Chain A
């Protein structure tokens, strides 16, 4: 996997050029969001599971931000690198394997997601929303959520020819996931079929694990089961991405 680092580096050099545009959405928006919902709405909600609303949604917003960043960063830029910039074609003409292109890209997304989450976690600690010494483990959870979301979306982006598919992805997958995966209210409130859907979403598993870490409570399922679900998403998504990149590049 020698060229993985080189691919990662290319994405980081790109990011150094473009990072300003992402500061607001990666760092500022989640905190504003947390303050608005957590403090504002929280004033009316009272306690959930024995903690204040702010502390309860913090791990959810953390996982949800990672989920949405991972998806957002794996759509237009992946398609653009195939269709317009053709930078994957450039890599493919050099001694870079398809697996290394996918790996380098996913590691880049992981870094983005984990750095943003670490900043967010620091801010929420100031709000007093972290209630457990396990809280730093939520960064590992966030990394897993990022991978579980980014890998299949990267694969999807490598197969489509038109960006209108992304609007559908955001509208019918990302936003419903973010709303109904236990970020703002427990999934037990959902009707049966919707609860099954929530269990399929990598975000719900991430939210459960992240909440377990910051509040020191047990998640809905055994920890290994949540981790396994996230790993299945990540592994299947990565395999799909490698095959989609390969099909796109070889003709």
Chain B
């Protein structure tokens, strides 16, 4: 099957600074694909190139098999974009934001009205349809931005940090909406700082760091490839080289506030810790997550 997004050696430079440093990507139709990475990793820069609003400095990029430089307008007509920063018209009403945007995609006025009605339901903003955007809460604005991205009935939706700054309830509502889109066969590409979000929403993801892709796969396969099945988190009341005393138990990672111990069996490891005479003030055994993968790959935590 033809890739919806195809990139080879994609580079984005700003002056001397290289924000995206030669990445390869292929996203298939119907896939939910995620970019994970710390601040400044180059996620948004990549998304903007895919959205055809930022020109690649070098490398190859094809969206729907077309060239963003030559066919930018045609590609954008089939995309829905939710940028990292909301760019709604604050003086217009919720409904007007949807109808004016629909007109950019060539919908007639009547079609735009119908579409706005559907999307007001989709975003659960029908009761706010006539209110201005300015006083809406952050979560409502975010939902409206995502609904607005859907006006052109896109085949590919780009979501740059769709849930950053939302409370847990608003996030779950958004996830539910994104699942709906996936069920309809819409291809989703999103960036996030949240591991649980990536695990929930993405079939496949890449971890970016410093403009490069440092790992790629499904959430499960990334954990299997880069991490042990379980992690023991140890907290100690007193300072000391605790990690040094754990040699042989598993790979130990000393963080400022705790020691992480990567092991196959967490309970066995805890028993061994106690046998060695260590007395942690807190012990937590859990399954490893993408967060641990990220830590393994980059030596840094994802959300500082």
Cα-based distance from A97 to B74 in the complex (angstroms): 10
Q: Which of A1-18 contact B (CB under 8 A)?
A: 2-3, 5-7, 9-10, 13-14, 17-18
Which among A13, A89, A251 is the interface contact of B92 at CB below 8 angstroms?
A: A13
Residue-wise interface mask of B (47-66) relative to A, using a CB-CB cutoff of 8 A (1 in contact, 0 not)? 00001011100000000000
Considering only CB atoms, which chain A residue lies closest to B77 in the complex?
A95
The answer to whether B9 has its CB under 8 Å from any CB of chain A is no
Q: Does B124 contact A (CB under 8 A)?
A: no
Contacts of A18 in B (CB 8 A): 91
Provide the bound-state CA to CA distance between A94 and B145, in Å: 13
Given contacts A10-B100, A249-B53, A250-B55, contact A94 B90 (CB under 8 A): no
Q: CB within 8 Å of B: which of A85-100?
A: 85-87, 89-97
Given contacts A85-B87, A85-B90, A87-B87, whether A93 and B103 have CB atoms under 8 Å apart is no
For A2, give the chain B residue with the smallest CB separation: B106
Given A6-B100, A14-B89, A91-B104, check contact A97 B73 (CB 8 Å). yes
* CB atoms of B53 and A6 under 8 A apart: no
Residue of B nearest to A6 (CB): B103
Cβ of B266 within 8 Å of any chain A Cβ, yes or no, is: no
B76 & A14 in contact (Cβ 8 Å cutoff) = no
Measured between alpha carbons, how far is A87 from B133 in the docked complex, in Å? Answer: 13
Interface check B83, CB cutoff 8 A: yes
Task: Tell me which residues across on chain A come within 8 A of B81, comparing CB atoms.
Answer: 93
In the bound complex, CA of A50 to CA of B62 (Å): 70
Q: How far is the CB of B26 from chain A (nearest CB, A)?
A: 23
Count of residues in A whose CB is under 8 Å from the partner chain: 26
A94 to chain B, nearest CB (A): 4
Q: Are B14 and A251 in contact (CB under 8 A)?
A: yes
Known: A9-B100, A13-B100, A95-B74. A250 touches B54 (CB 8 A): yes
Tell me, in angstroms, the Cα distance from A171 to B103 when the chains sit together.
38
Contact B92 A17 (CB under 8 A): yes
* Chain A residues engaging chain B, CB cutoff 8 angstroms: 2-3, 5-7, 9-10, 13-14, 17-18, 85-87, 89-97, 249-251
**B55:A96 contact, CB within 8 angstroms:** no
Which of B53, B104, B106 has most A Cβ within 10 Å?
B104
Given A14-B92, A250-B53, A94–B87 Cβ distance below 8 Å?
no
B85 on the interface (CB 8 Å rule)? Answer: yes
Checking B54, B91, B100, B152 against A251 with a beta-carbon cut-off of 8 angstroms, the contacting residue is B54
Q: Is the CB of B92 within 8 A of A86?
A: no
- Bound-state Cα–Cα, A2 to B100, Å: 14
**Which residues of A have CB within 8 Å of B96?**
13
Asked if A86 and B85 sit within 8 Å, CB to CB, the answer is yes
Partner of A89, one of B87, B90, B91, B100: B87
Taking the closest CB of chain A, its distance from the CB of B49, in whole angstroms, is: 11
| Interface assignment of B101: CB less than 8 Å from any CB of chain A | yes
Residues of chain B within 8 A (CB-CB) of A92 are: 53
Q: Are A95 and B73 in contact (CB under 8 A)?
A: yes
Give the chain A neighbours of B77 by CB distance below 8 A: 94-95
| Contact A95 B103, CB 8 Å, known A14-B89, A18-B91, A250-B53 | no
Of the listed residues A9, A86, A95, the one surrounded by the most CB atoms of chain B closer than 10 A to its CB is A95
